[in-house]
Structure 1
Amino acid sequence: MNRLYYIHDPMCSWCYAFKPVLASLRQQLPDDMEFVALLGGLAPDTNDPMPEAMRQQLQDTWRRIEIKVPGIEFNHDFWDKWQQTQPRRATYPACRAVIAAHSFDFLEMDSPDSHQFENLMIAAIQKAYYQQALNPSDKQILITLAETIGLDRSAFKKVLEAEACQLELDKQIAQSQQMNARSYPSLVLGITQNDSKNSSFWPVSIDYRNAESMLETINMLLEFED
């Protein structure tokens, strides 16, 4: 089966900006193509405060996105009130929260293929970070967000802190790196020939304004490999 891999991080501002066009792209993919989201993991765990230069760099990135991508806005209170929000360059906690939330999809939904809680957690993290000036690097924030999407606090906390959660994140990071996806968001088309178990991987350039150019690239690659 052919697959379109989406490599992302819930605390990647460019991934947040790409969300509307990604939704449009997914709706137009061929029916026989599987969409696979992988967490790339922008920044590992740390308790160190974010340096001033990096705080300024990231706020400048938010401003560039607001100019480049129509309809995307950020709450800059997160940076203006940095003494209260206490930014850290750590996105692994948010990535683990997405993995932990997805584990409840298998327990509570009729179909094991459902990604309902996974998607709800991504949306909750992005809303908290980009609109509510909350810090998803903090475990307690993530546990509270899990409760807002309908998960039990104590059960979610147990899964979030389990070693298996970090092992799954390590696995997804390694898989994305094997496809040479080292910036976020990234799209990689995996094409499997009918007579082979091996896949070839092709990068698809991101377009933050519309899905058409990406669809053209995908269709061209499918025809080339046919």
Structure 2
Amino acid sequence: MAVDNMQMNNSRKPTLYYVYDPMCSWCWGYAPTWNKLRAALRESGISVEYRLGGLAPDSDLPMPDEMKAFLEQTWHKIAVELGTEFNFDFWRQCQPRRSTYPACRAALIAREQGLEQAMLDGIQQAYYLKAMNPSDLTTLISIAASINLDIDPKEFALQLSSEAINHDLMTEIHQVRALPIQGFPSLVLEHNGSLSPIPLDYLDYQTSYRHLINIR
């Protein structure tokens, strides 16, 4: 599976990169605004591509209590500031692990079939609304089936743990670290051979949209 080339090309049309992690809680908070921005850009001549930043490497260790408390508090903060819905039962019903790379690899596999946004939606809804753990293989297999990913569950599991898909993810994470971003989610526009950070408003897609249209 080849990771899309991010080398700048003056001849290609403007490209907006959405930099995210499927298990980034602020990305979940931004999701409604991101969906509006994507819809607004459909007739703009600006293409949209996804880039995975990768928050946390693979780990089988239970998440430390301090980290669990911090992340649960972050969920509460996002809920208050953005009105985002969360199912806080996750912190009581699941065994959290600080491990987002499996979900990132699932998104890469879905990208091959044009279903990366569907996989992102499925992971976010499972994690934040259904109290399911996307660090677990069983959860990712269930999500793949729910979005009609055209792959056998056993083959999907094999690909998730393959050296090839992990190499693709590591390559993409390395590329993302060279982008002008400070965290996730982030927006970066490639245009006329340059990469520009795009202002992001969690509640108003027009902030990013106006900026994109003005510099297109």
Q: Same fold (TM over 0.5)?
A: yes
More helix per residue: 1 or 2?
A: 1
Aligned with residue 4 of structure 1, among 12, 16, 41: 16
Secondary structure, aligned partner of 1:16: helix
Task: Give the AA of the match of 1:183.
Answer: G
1:24 and 2:36 are equivalent in the alignment:
yes
Pair member with larger Rg: 1
* TM-score, normalised with respect to structure 2: 0.87
Aligned with residue 36 of structure 1, among 46, 49, 54: 49
Secondary structure, aligned partner of 1:150: coil
Aligned to 2:10: none
Cα distance, 1:43 vs. partner? 0.7
Cα distance, 1:219 vs. partner? 2.9
Aligned to 2:200: 206
1:45 and 2:58 are equivalent in the alignment:
yes
Aligned with residue 104 of structure 2, among 86, 90, 95: 95
Cα distance, 1:182 vs. partner? 4.0
Task: Give the AA of the match of 1:94.
Answer: A
Cα distance, 1:220 vs. partner? 3.4
CA distance in 2, matches of 1:94, 1:181: 21
Task: Give the AA of the match of 2:213.
Answer: N
Task: Give the AA of the match of 2:211.
Answer: T
Task: State the Cα deviation string for residues 181-215 of structure 1 (Å, max 9, x = none).
Answer: 241000011112xxxxxx21111121111111112
Task: Give the AA of the match of 2:201.
Answer: D
CA distance in 2, matches of 1:123, 1:22: 12
Query: 1:182/1:173 Cα in 2 relative to 1: closer, same or farther (>3 Å)?
Result: farther
Unaligned runs of 5+ in 1: 106-114, 193-198
Identity %: 41
* TM-score, normalised with respect to structure 1: 0.84
Cα distance, 1:149 vs. partner? 2.2
Matched-pair contact (CA < 8 Å) for 2:180–2:196? no
Task: Give the AA of the match of 1:52.
Answer: D
CA distance in 2, matches of 1:180, 1:53: 30
Unaligned runs of 5+ in 2: 1-12
Aligned to 1:139: 137
Q: How many residues align structurally?
A: 201
CA distance in 2, matches of 1:180, 1:167: 23
CA distance in 1, matches of 2:175, 2:85: 32
